[in-house]
Structure 1
Amino acid sequence: MSGEHSDGTLVVVVGPSGAGKDSVINFALDRLSGLAVHRVRRVITRAGEAGGEDHEAISPGGFEARLAQGGFAVSWSAHGLSYGIPADTLVRLRQGQILIANGSRHALDHFRAKFARIRIVNIVASPEVLAKRLVTRGRESEQEILARLQRRVPDLLDEPDVITIDNSGSIEIAGERLAALVAELRQPVL
């Protein structure tokens, strides 16, 4: 045995809309291309583009049917959409894979209950940066953007299993920080 855990780790990336979660994940995965680190492809009841996220689009009825069949390890609803982490994520983790998933702050208790080994990364950005990114994204009206920015969310700053990365500046800074964190998970445990 190489000294690595037989069980993998799920890195759950959370943060507000516009913080650049998918951009940071993409940057880190590019940096980690030589390691066995993979993205969890979320299932979302959104047709078409989902920011920079490679996702599986599904109808609301299809989502409910898959949920009823046990097709998700974790699922949640937000912003009028349903999101799911495929059930095969558990199999992949048992095989020792390191996986990165775009999650939700509201669903963290579900992630913690379902996955034995998780790391939570909270991607944040200044309110000005968030607003600018949401406008540039062009998916929502000005009123919807304001509602998103004013929404109350759980504060993760004081939780011991959460690492916060500020992505207000260069993507390289935040991306390198996430890549370094994930690379440490690949190190053998003594």
Structure 2
Amino acid sequence: MDTAPAGTERARSGCMVAVVGPSGAGKDTLMAYAARFFEGRDDVVFARRVITRDAAAGGEDHDGVSETEFEALERAGRFAVSWAAHGLRYGIPVETRDAVAQGKLVIANGSRSALARFRQAYTSLVVVNITASLDVLAARLEARGRETREEILGRLERSSLAVTGDYHVVTIDNSGSLEDAGRALVEALNGCFAD
């Protein structure tokens, strides 16, 4: 019988942490908070996604490519995981698999729709589900100016904020202060190194 404390095996073998959640939940902001906390640690890697969106478009820091370039990278096996959502294509570089195999903690902005692909690609996976109340999500999305509040609320009420499937999931509510949710994310990531 394995009596090792929870998290020990993940730390020994490395771990991919897929950060997921709805638009407006604050995934990028919380990941930036955690990246500042872990700055200088060579055993913690924040993956830079490849996206079919201009790199200067704002939002997360990413490598922007055209559809043609993305397809060429995908054919060449340059992604550990790739998926399409919201009219864009996303890829997690294949080097992240090597980092996990080397015992590193790798954190990537993922997608609930791609979690089965993450599980196939990585030997160890933890899902961090960032949520917020519907009112908070609606206010953040409304500030982007792409939809009316009524359209946003209707879309949010039709979608689930939960992660479905047999995954190790840590849920963080980011309805309050950045400091509270940021500390919760750092604690969750540190938990991957627990003895």
Asked if these proteins are the same fold (TM beyond 0.5), I'd say: yes
Counterpart position of 1:62: 69
- Match status 1:115 vs 2:122: yes
**Identical positions, percent:** 47
Give the distance between the partners of 2:34 and 2:155, measured in 1 at CA. 26
- Match status 1:93 vs 2:84: no
Give the CA deviation at 1:29: 1.8
Shift in CA distance, 68/160, structure 1 to aligned 2, threshold 3 Å: closer
Give the distance between the partners of 2:40 and 2:74, measured in 1 at CA. 34
Give the CA deviation at 1:32: 2.3
Shift in CA distance, 147/56, structure 1 to aligned 2, threshold 3 Å: farther
User: Alignment partner for residue 79 of structure 1, among 74, 86, 101?
Assistant: 86
SS at match of 2:57: coil
Give the distance between the partners of 1:46 and 1:62, measured in 2 at CA. 11
Deviates more, 1:17-26 or 1:6-15: 6-15
Counterpart position of 2:34: 28
- Root mean square deviation of aligned Cα: 2.3
Residues 23, 137 of structure 2: 8 Å contact kept:
yes
User: Alignment partner for residue 38 of structure 1, among 40, 45, 62?
Assistant: 45
Counterpart position of 1:13: 19
Give the CA deviation at 1:112: 1.0
Cα deviations by residue, 1:33-63 (Å, 9 ceiling, x for unpaired)? 2533221001110113242x11110101100
- Matched residues, number: 184
Q: Which runs of 5+ in 1 are unaligned?
A: none
Cα deviations by residue, 1:73-104 (Å, 9 ceiling, x for unpaired)? 10000000000001111111112211110000
User: Alignment partner for residue 180 of structure 1, among 178, 187, 190?
Assistant: 187
User: Alignment partner for residue 57 of structure 2, among 44, 49, 52?
Assistant: 49
Q: Which runs of 5+ in 2 are unaligned?
A: 1-7
- Match status 1:166 vs 2:173: yes
SS at match of 1:101: strand
Counterpart position of 2:132: 125
Give the distance between the partners of 1:94 and 1:179, measured in 2 at CA. 22
SS at match of 2:13: coil
Shift in CA distance, 157/172, structure 1 to aligned 2, threshold 3 Å: farther
